[in-house]
Amino acid sequence: MRCAELGRSLVAVVGRAACVAALAAGAARAQPTYDVTVRERRPVTSGSEFAIEAESFALKRLDKPDRVLEQVPALLTAQHAGGGKSNQYLVRGFDADHGTDLALFVDGVPMNMRSHAHGQGFAEMHWLIPEAIERLDVSMGPYSVEFGDFATAGAVNLKLWERAPESFVKATGGQWQSVRTVGLWSPRQGVFGGEDPRATLLAAAEFNTGDGPFDHEDNLLQYKFLGRFGWQLAERTRVEAWTAGYWGQWNASGQIPGRYVARNGVDRFDSADPTEGGDSNRQIGLARLVHEFDDSRRLEVTGWASHYAFDLYSNFSLFLDDPGGDGILQEDDRTYFGSNATYRQSFDWRLPVVLSVGLDHRSDFATVSLSRQQRRDRLERIASDRVRETSIAAFAQAELLLAPWARFVGGVRAEGFFFDVRGRHEDETGPRPAGSASEDLYLPKANLILAPFGEDGLHPVAFQPLRDSELFLNWGEGYHSNDARDVVANPQATVLPIAMGWEVGWRAPIGRWLDVSLAYWWLNLESELVFVGDAGETEARGRSRRRGVEVAARATPLAWLHGEVAVSYSTAEFTNGDAVPQAPRLIGKANLTARHPSGVSAELGLTALGRRYAIEDRSVKLHGYAILDFALRYRRGPIEALVGVDNVTGAEWASSEFYYESRLPDEPAGVEDFHFTPGYPRNVRVGVTWYLP
């Protein structure tokens, strides 16, 4: 990567040392001796900030958006509701549930739902077409002023292609009636032609269906479309817009108790309640204006809006409270919209400086409900609320080149929240909680990037791994908001609990073909009080602390051979010493990719999750797994063929697993047990892609 590709946040940064500091984020090192003008932003302030380009995961399985998210080394996803419910995210010592402590964005649009019917921060990504993603901008930890709510463990922004490298039609199929078809068109003729076209266009559509390996079929159906258009109004002014739509429905086998399989001799792909599942739909749109006043000043203004509807039928405890079944129905219907404006300017003020200021706004208008149901028949409504929630944020950041070998990036983000809740239904205890509230907070950030052993460093050395290495020192505060229903029901509760984090990171190239990175981080949370949508009530979890280390290596020993290894280990406990249940401890990933000039390419990938504590006293551990996947492709001219084998070793593993109390129909009382959703067994898929001229 050349310095000119690194980022508008470093516009007109002067000299070789500034370039080296920017490239420390993971791009290839270069040593220019001339001034540079940065044109495309890349994160550069933390040892665990980086961009993952589409070409690095083009050969991997991309049938679901979570497969793209798992390109983040420290992140795993899990599914336990038939393929339509939001994934469960495991990252940096967090079982982040469906997004409580992991902020997810698509082209800057927040995906985490506040005060969602199923849980705070619910981030459903199934509407996205994976092939439309150009790159992932990853920022682990709470160190960037750009990110606010839910960005405690980190944030991931999935950037869409302005125009794709190639247009194509793709069809893949496999076992259990799995069929996926995708079409993507990005013209390169007329106003869309050339290296720097005046206009760009991207149109994509997907149809996806499958039953899964379960005895009671998932009957998953998904329809998606995406359209994006960009136009160069003037030499320094560009507008762009995109819109997307999604509709999906599915059945689910839920979490099956371990004793149900062992005692009844049923298949592990059976179900104790096969009537779970749901449906959802979404429409979303964005418009953006980008104007460069000159080489040193830039303004970007974005507006977006989305409508979202979601129904989920679940039964976690089976027959614990009701002999007819403990099923629940959670409904969420909302419109949410927002805007963002960011202004950046670079200048010399004794030192080269880049100042950034911005405003963020978001408003949610939601109706969220919880009802009892059996076999998808609604019995009674437990709770129903109208939620209005608005946040306004302002942020400012300064980037200073302190010395040829030292750079500082720091700033502050101020957040203001406004909550209004009105109960639409009385429960058995009387009227639902109602009222209004407001809260604000200020989040300072500070990052120091050092290259002390470089040619212009404080202590230059000849030893290449040290000479080209970069050291990152990061500190910052973040937060995740709590559910608005909890805010008005419990005035003494912490509304916006603070997360304070530190990190020490190091990156170094070793020779021309190996890059190594190391990060040690720790994060303290003021409160883990969250609203539990499954029960319709709040649960206090107190203060907590997390520590972890992450190691990654990327190697290209031959032009056609590339390998990656990433291992992260973390601990998570409350301040009283109890373990945080479900928190991941060991996550490991490795893959080897080979591309032959003849058109043959192959990829072998390993994903592993270590055992973790199921309950606070550490007496019970959940099971780990290690899964090996393989894919082989051959392209000749416009045609590419694919054969993939998932779970090559045929391991019996749990995609998700929990430990709690449930009751089967023939049991006199509830029993604490492991409840799991089995991961897919060994399966084969084939596909063909036709690339259009």
What pLDDT digit, counting tens, does each position of 265-282 carry?
788 999 999 999 999 999
Indicate the Cα dihedral angle 611, 617, 620, 621, nearest 10°: -10
How far apart (Å, rounded) are the C-alpha atoms in residues 110 and 100? 13
Distances (CA, A) of 261 to 258, 297, 427, 662, 664: 5, 64, 37, 14, 12
Q: Is pLDDT larger for residue 8 or for residue 673?
A: 673
pLDDT in tens, 71-89: 999 999 998 777 889 999 9
For the residues 180-191, what does the mean pLDDT come to? 95
| Mean pLDDT rounded to a whole number for the chain | 89
Q: Residue 389's CB: how many other CB atoms inside 10 A?
A: 22
Per the listing, tokens 């993971």 go with 26
**Comparing 2-16, 235-249, 299-313, which segment has the lowest mean pLDDT?**
2-16
Q: Answer yes or no: are the C-beta atoms of 568 and 73 closer than 8 Å.
A: yes
| Confidence at 16, pLDDT banded by 50, 70, 90 | very low
For the residues 249-273, what does the mean pLDDT come to? 90
For the residues 594-601, what does the mean pLDDT come to? 93
How far apart (Å, rounded) are the C-alpha atoms in residues 18 and 35? 10
- pLDDT of amino acid 537: 52
Length of the chain as a residue count: 693
Distances (CA, A) of 127 to 111, 185, 222, 254, 333: 11, 18, 8, 22, 16
pLDDT in tens, 627-673: 999 999 999 999 999 999 999 999 999 999 999 999 999 999 999 99
Task: Give the whole-number percent of the chain exceeding pLDDT 90.
Answer: 77
Q: Residue 638's CB: how many other CB atoms inside 10 A?
A: 12
Q: Hey, what amino acid is at 253?
A: S
Nearest residue to 132 via CA among 108, 107, 104: 107
SS3 481: coil
| Confidence at 56, pLDDT banded by 50, 70, 90 | confident
How far apart (Å, rounded) are the C-alpha atoms in residues 626 and 247? 33
What residue segments make up the domains of the chain, in order of their start?
43-692
CATH superfamily of the 43-692 domain: TonB-dependent receptor, beta-barrel domain (2.40.170.20)
| ∠ Cα 43 44 50 (to 5°) | 50
Whether 676 shows a pLDDT value over 80: the answer reads yes
Nearest residue to 114 via CA among 593, 479, 404, 639: 479
- pLDDT of amino acid 609: 98
What phi and psi values does residue 153 have, to the nearest 5 degrees?
Answer: -70, -30
